[in-house]
Amino acid sequence: MQTQTLVGPIGVMCGAAIGAGGALLGGWLQQSRQAKTAKEQRREERRYAAGQAALEMLIRFRHASMKRTKETESTLAFTEALVEFVTTFDAALYVVSDAEEMRTRVLDTMSFSAYTIELGHTHDEAKSWIDVICKEAIGVLSAFLREEPLPEPSQTAFEIYCDASHAVYHS
């Protein structure tokens, strides 16, 4: 065959090979990008669902603490609500990869509730203290759900921690 007649088929074959390679590479890149997007979407859905569940638990705990009275059943319900919150909250948010700081902040805040159990249900300020720390924890959790920086601990919460610690150790 003459060179002139070979140039055409060789050019067509080279063009087809390059085109097929480009199409395969483009398909692979698109599939990879779609997989990454789907993974990010699942992570966001999991993050939001876990955060919402934790927020609902926190609101239930706050409600149980506000209903607490001097009756044994009421105190038991409060203690059960606290235990349920702490164990379920922690477990629910372990599936969220970037929740460590938020989990720690909320659990540290909520651990204060144990002080009020030690103070007893007749302590006058215990309900208002728990309400303040629940609001503090709700603020941290809400900022996490909005994907905003976590708020600094409030001065009021800090003062309550100090007052409660002092009351427990001097009672």
For helices 155-169 and 100-119, the axis angle rounded to 10 degrees is 40
Tokens representing 90 are: 């922690």
Question: Residue 97 gets which letter from DSSP?
Answer: T
CA 61-66-68 angle, to 5 degrees, is 95
- Please tell me the distance from the alpha carbon of residue 74 to that of residue 114, in angstroms, as a whole number: 16
In tens digits, the chain (171 residues) has pLDDT values of: 566 666 667 777 777 777 777 777 777 778 878 888 888 888 888 888 888 888 888 888 888 777 776 666 767 777 787 788 777 777 777 777 778 888 888 888 777 777 666 666 555 667 777 888 888 888 988 898 888 998 988 888 777 777 666 665 655
pLDDT value at position 18?
78
pLDDT value at position 129?
79
Q: CA nearest 140: which of 65, 97, 89? A: 89
The torsion region of residue 84 among left (phi > 0), alpha (psi -120 to 50) and beta comes to alpha
Residue 166: exposure state from Cβ atoms within 10 A (0-12, 13-18, ≥19):
exposed
In order, the DSSP letters of 69-88 are -SSHHHHHHHHHHHHHHHHH
pTM: 0.66
Q: Provide the 3-class DSSP secondary structure of residue 12.
A: helix
Q: Give Cβ neighbours of residue 169 (< 8 Å, ≥ 6 apart).
A: none
pLDDT value at position 149?
92
Question: Residue 149 gets which letter from DSSP?
Answer: P
pLDDT value at position 61?
81
- Please tell me the distance from the alpha carbon of residue 25 to that of residue 141, in angstroms, as a whole number: 43
